[in-house]
Amino acid sequence: MTTESETAVRPVVEIKNLHKSFGDNHVLRGIDFTVRQGEVVCVIGPSGSGKSTLLRCVNLLEVPQQGQVLVRGEDITDPDCHLDAARQQIGMVFQQFNLFPHLTALVNCTVAQTTVLKRKPAEADRIARANLERVGLSEKITAFPAQLSGGQQQRVAIARALSMDPALMLFDEPTSALDPELVGDVLTVMRKLALDGMTMLVVTHEMAFAREVADRVVFMDGGVIVEQGPPADVIGNPSHERTRTFLRRVLDPTHVEPTA
């Protein structure tokens, strides 16, 4: 029997020897790492390094060819796993907002509650309103997505995910499709979630956010984890030359490497 103390220390996510290929392209090459309760982990790295694929494997939007993904101790890669029930523990925010265009912000946040969680409409409405207020959009509950800015739509998407009471939030470059002026509003919401103790796995190019908010930064390249650790180490003083090269290009994009 699992004790309450054992449940408290169990990782929310355990990834073991994860491999994923698309045809001949071996995207993930034996990934191993964990995310613990209340931890904020930011995954950084160049395009094509496997970051988004890793995130999508966590809730089996992509099915790995080898390895295990355990969510709260349950192996969701097991064919006998009740995948829909397991996914209810995981909220995901994509690069694109994926809102229903014909539904208001409020209804976007209630529809999954009533259809998936079978909540009564009044309860779903109360929870949705609370989460829209949490992301700073209580005055936009009757607005349709086309009436909202990109940053507001992304905050509705966050409120929608929160309304399902997830144990884990996945963010796949949530600010990459936004105008620069709108990025800050979304990152502010994510900072507040981190302060509230939400367990978060974030793929991001926002180095300032990763440095400030993450408990741990994971640097990926070529489908493997090159290094990981506290932001002060991985971003401030990386040990691997590949990490240093990446960060020079990201933090100082006008830098030109000297030629021999």
Query: Quick one: pLDDT at residue 251?
Result: 81
> Which amino acid does the sequence have at 74?
E
Assigned domain for 1 exists = no
State the DSSP string of 89-112. TEEEE-SS----TTS-HHHHHHHH
Tens of pLDDT along 122-176? Answer: 999 999 999 999 999 999 999 999 999 999 999 999 999 999 999 999 999 998 8
Residue 50 has pLDDT above 50, yes or no: yes
Task: Count Cβ atoms below 10 Å from residue 21 Cβ, excluding itself.
Answer: 15
Assigned domain for 83 exists = yes
Query: Quick one: pLDDT at residue 58?
Result: 93
Alpha-carbon span 64 to 201, nearest angstrom: 18
Question: Would you say how long the chain is, in residues?
Answer: 260
Residue 254 has pLDDT above 70, yes or no: no
Q: Do 17 and 66 touch, CB atoms closer than 8 A?
A: yes
Residue 259 has pLDDT above 80, yes or no: no
Tens of pLDDT along 185-230? Answer: 999 999 999 999 999 999 999 999 999 999 999 999 999 999 999 9
Task: Count Cβ atoms below 10 Å from residue 54 Cβ, excluding itself.
Answer: 29
* CATH number of the domain within which 17 lies: 3.40.50.300
> Which amino acid does the sequence have at 218?
V
Assigned domain for 258 exists = no
Query: Which tokens in the block code for residue 164?
Result: 């399902």
6/172: higher pLDDT: 172
Across the chain, mean pLDDT equals 90
Assigned domain for 237 exists = yes
Assigned domain for 6 exists = no
Instruction: Find the range with the poorest average confidence among 26-30, 136-140, 246-250.
Output: 246-250
6/182: higher pLDDT: 182
Question: Is the Cα dihedral 45, 250, 190, 214 positive or negative?
Answer: positive
Residue 4 has pLDDT above 90, yes or no: no
Share of residues in the chain with pLDDT > 70 (%):
93
- Find the domain containing 73 and state its range: 11-251
Q: Which residue has the tokens 């079978």?
A: 118
Alpha-carbon span 61 to 9, nearest angstrom: 27
Question: Is the Cα dihedral 148, 189, 233, 8 positive or negative?
Answer: negative
Assigned domain for 5 exists = no
Q: Do 114 and 121 touch, CB atoms closer than 8 A?
A: yes
Residue 30 region by backbone torsions, left for phi larger than 0, else alpha for psi between -120 and 50, else beta: left
pLDDT bucket at 88, cuts 50 / 70 / 90: confident
Tens of pLDDT along 215-225? Answer: 999 999 999 99
pLDDT bucket at 103, cuts 50 / 70 / 90: very high
> For 31-51, what is the mean pLDDT?
94
Query: Quick one: pLDDT at residue 8?
Result: 52
Share of residues in the chain with pLDDT > 90 (%):
77
Assigned domain for 240 exists = yes
Query: Which tokens in the block code for residue 204?
Result: 């991001």
pTM of model > 0.85: yes
Residue 53 has pLDDT above 90, yes or no: yes
How many domains, the chain? Answer: 1
First to last CA, the chain: 64
Residue 260 has pLDDT above 60, yes or no: no
Residue 6 has pLDDT above 90, yes or no: no
